[in-house]
Chain A
Amino acid sequence: MDILLNSGSTLVIIAAVVGLFMAWGIGANDVANAMGTSVGSKALTIKQAIIIAMVFEFAGAYLAGGEVTSTIRKGIIDASFFVETPELLVFGMISALFAAATWLLIASALGWPVSTTHSIVGAIVGFAAMGVSVDAVTWSKVGGIVGSWIITPLISGVIAFLIFNSAQKLIFDTDKPLQQAKRWVPLYMFLAGFVLALVTIKKGLKHLDLHIGTADGYIYAVMTAVLVALIGKIFISRIKFDESAALKTHYANVEKVFALLMIVTACAMAFAHGSNDVANAIGPLAAVVSIVDNGGQIAAKSTIAWWILPLGGFGIVAGLAIFGHKVIATIGSGITHLTPSRGFAAELAAACTVVISSGAGLPISTTQTLVGAVLGVGMARGIAAINLGVVRNIVVSWVITLPVGAALSIMFFWMMKGIFA
């Protein structure tokens, strides 16, 4: 107990630094997954992608990151086990951050596709179960989180399949695909805007002390979505089409419309990623800050300190500003046979799934959700070739990440106990 009073601020600083480092790592690595499809299908340049990512990752983290942060902070662990020894929870959370950040660093260096979400959840479960007591983990909650990792890629796959098929029906398999595209693409923009706005209003604005009623929330969401669709429509009317192009290349013109739509879905993806993944870095930090601020009391109901979400958002933005460029350039130069009409279906489905999960406080893996969505489009015969080997690697990575994250976290936990206690 004394340790919290004597070196509380030191611990908070350590946690903040590691949390910032973790957020930075998330920004540097995961941005490729969030923005890669947009850059890969040439809907955005690298510079545009970075700017969109910076704005919307931060917005997502700040406006809609609260729920998942709460889950990471206090959903996985049963706080009643730490009432007598709150310092153990502080050590544990810092160790979990250390472990996840270390694993992220190692995996990135080796080129393994790991999930930051899986590593932090594995790490928290690891120190709590092995370092304290098996019962200190709220297993029912952990079961729900792990279950969501299986279900969310499936859901996003099904949504992607439906979105892609609807685009085929409404736009591609018609007499005049270009006219149909001009008519229907704003509707998809509306859909993206609506889901994002709704989740932000219903779940995100709480911690900003903005309380909006249910009915009002829907009205505001619809208004935002209509605005997005209208702006999109204006831009669509300003695209220069290759009018001389005969029937042969009309799909090229259609894709130009979809490229605009992809800018919207890229924003949605960055927002969704920020909202879900920021928690991986700042959830443990929020726990540490809350305990230290309350002088060792583990408050069941406490708001997240005001500076924590922006710190996480800042970390992510810094990461992608410094390293994102390089990461995206690497993938941008790769040959990707992905047209905007496929990319949008995958991104929109993944973004919706992730944002809704964020609203529900479920920490899920953005990458796996996106992979699920890509497979959904593939099922609809929309993508020329999907590398199942890479898909398998991504799936395997989370099975491995859990025990590794746990083991590293236990190691750091014992080390910290040795140093401070």
Chain B
Amino acid sequence: MARNSILGVFAKSPIKPLEKHIRLVVKCSNQLIPFFSACSEQNWSEAAKVRRKLSKLEQDADALKRQLRLELPGGLFMPVDRADLLELLTQQDKIANKAKDIAGRILGRKLEIPESLQAQFNAYLARCIEATEKAAEAINELDDLLETGFRGREVELVEKMINQLDAIEDDTDTMQIDLRKDLLALESELNPVDVMFLYQIIDWVGDLADLAERVGARLEILLARK
């Protein structure tokens, strides 16, 4: 009977699932903090446990991503462009994938962050994860954006958040440069192969912030259209 009525006209909103997706993604990348603290204590069984949890969250995010794509066929009339929305979803999902890659690589090689770099690395990691949290905060404004018809004060509010996100990302870039420099000074004392992978891990952690910034950029494009 629902098809017979006016309510069939209203399709399922993609906005709530999109917000839920980024919350899952952030929860997933947040697992890296307990993960690295377990690693620094060389508690590999605990690290493996955290990685399993992280991996589970990544799978949940993947499932939600797939479901959202299926529920977003063409022929929907939406206030935002469908392609932009799907692109935003893809970017969000990449954050979770990256977090999983980082945990997998570290655990696979039982790679240790050199003692003297640990405090610096943890600050760097925390800042990168902060970028993903900021991105999630901006995405979670989408339902309020819908309330206000995607214009006016609410848009300004979101733009301010995106600017903050950019600032955090800039910050992580500086931290990354410092971290690399200090690693360079230590290089001779370390196993060369480990050093290679350490550089890679530093890169990947930085990617979390880069990807978060890209989520912000996609959100901006989404708002700019129409």
A residues neighboring B (CB under 8 Å): 29, 32-33, 36-37, 40, 107-108, 111-113, 164-165, 168, 172-175, 251, 254, 326-327, 330-331, 334-339, 341, 367, 370-371, 374-375, 378, 380-391, 393-394
Whether the Cβ atoms of B5 and A33 lie closer than 8 Å is yes
Q: Within 8 Å CB of B226, what residues of A?
A: 381
B68-83 interface with A by 8 A CB criterion: 75-80
Whether the Cβ atoms of B9 and A335 lie closer than 8 Å is no
Name the residue of chain B whose CB is nearest to the CB of A386: B77
Q: Within 8 Å CB of A165, what residues of B?
A: 149
- Given A168-B148, A251-B144, verify A387-B5 contact (CB < 8 Å): no
Top 3 nearest A-B pairs (CB, nearest first) are A173-B152, A384-B13, A381-B79
Whether the Cβ atoms of B5 and A32 lie closer than 8 Å is yes
- Given A168-B149, A172-B149, A251-B144, verify A387-B9 contact (CB < 8 Å): yes
**Distance in angstroms between the alpha carbons of A112 and B147 in the assembled complex:** 32
- Given A384-B79, A388-B75, verify A37-B6 contact (CB < 8 Å): yes
- Given A36-B5, A111-B4, A173-B153, verify A383-B10 contact (CB < 8 Å): yes
Whether the Cβ atoms of A172 and B5 lie closer than 8 Å is no
B29-75 interface with A by 8 A CB criterion: 75
Whether the Cβ atoms of A36 and B149 lie closer than 8 Å is no
A175, A336, A382: the one contacting B149 at CB < 8 Å is A382
A316 to chain B, nearest CB (A): 16
Q: Within 8 Å CB of A341, what residues of B?
A: 147
Whether the Cβ atoms of A32 and B4 lie closer than 8 Å is yes
B11 interfacial by beta-carbon distance below 8 Å: yes
- Given A40-B7, A390-B9, verify A385-B14 contact (CB < 8 Å): yes
Whether the Cβ atoms of B79 and A382 lie closer than 8 Å is yes
Beyond contacts A374-B10, A386-B9: 6 other A-B pairs, Cβ-Cβ < 8 A, are A113-B4, A251-B144, A337-B10, A384-B78, A385-B13, A389-B75
Interface size on B, residues (CB 8 A): 33
Q: Within 8 Å CB of A326, what residues of B?
A: 1
Whether the Cβ atoms of A387 and B75 lie closer than 8 Å is yes
B83 to chain A, nearest CB (A): 15
Q: Does more than half of chain A's interface fall in helix, strand or loop, or is it mixed? A: helix
A113, A173, A175, A387: the one contacting B10 at CB < 8 Å is A387
- Given A381-B149, A385-B13, verify A334-B79 contact (CB < 8 Å): no
B1, B10, B16, B75: the one contacting A111 at CB < 8 Å is B1
B7, B13, B146: the one contacting A37 at CB < 8 Å is B7
Whether the Cβ atoms of A374 and B6 lie closer than 8 Å is yes
A354 to chain B, nearest CB (A): 13
B6 to chain A, nearest CB (A): 5
Whether the Cβ atoms of A335 and B6 lie closer than 8 Å is no
Whether the Cβ atoms of A173 and B151 lie closer than 8 Å is yes
Q: Within 8 Å CB of B148, what residues of A?
A: 168, 172-173
A57 to chain B, nearest CB (A): 16
Whether the Cβ atoms of B147 and A172 lie closer than 8 Å is yes
- Given A173-B148, A173-B151, A330-B1, verify A385-B7 contact (CB < 8 Å): no
Q: Offer 17 A-B interface pairs, CB within 8 angstroms, sorted by A.
A: A29-B4, A32-B4, A113-B4, A168-B148, A172-B149, A173-B148, A326-B1, A331-B2, A337-B13, A367-B6, A381-B79, A381-B151, A382-B79, A383-B10, A383-B79, A384-B13, A390-B9
B21 to chain A, nearest CB (A): 15
Q: 1/0 per position for B107-146, CB-CB distance to A under 8 A?
A: 0000000000000000000000000000000000000101
B204 interfacial by beta-carbon distance below 8 Å: no
Whether the Cβ atoms of B152 and A371 lie closer than 8 Å is no
**Distance in angstroms between the alpha carbons of A390 and B10 in the assembled complex:** 9
- Given A168-B152, A172-B148, verify A385-B6 contact (CB < 8 Å): no
Q: Within 8 Å CB of A384, what residues of B?
A: 11, 13-15, 78-79, 146
B127 to chain A, nearest CB (A): 25
Q: Within 8 Å CB of B160, what residues of A?
A: none
Q: Within 8 Å CB of A168, what residues of B?
A: 148-149, 151-152
- Given A168-B152, A378-B79, verify A390-B8 contact (CB < 8 Å): yes
Whether the Cβ atoms of B75 and A40 lie closer than 8 Å is no
Q: Within 8 Å CB of A33, what residues of B?
A: 5-6
- Given A251-B147, A339-B147, A388-B75, verify A113-B5 contact (CB < 8 Å): yes
Whether the Cβ atoms of A391 and B9 lie closer than 8 Å is yes
Q: Within 8 Å CB of A111, what residues of B?
A: 1, 3-4
Q: Within 8 Å CB of B20, what residues of A?
A: none
A391 to chain B, nearest CB (A): 6
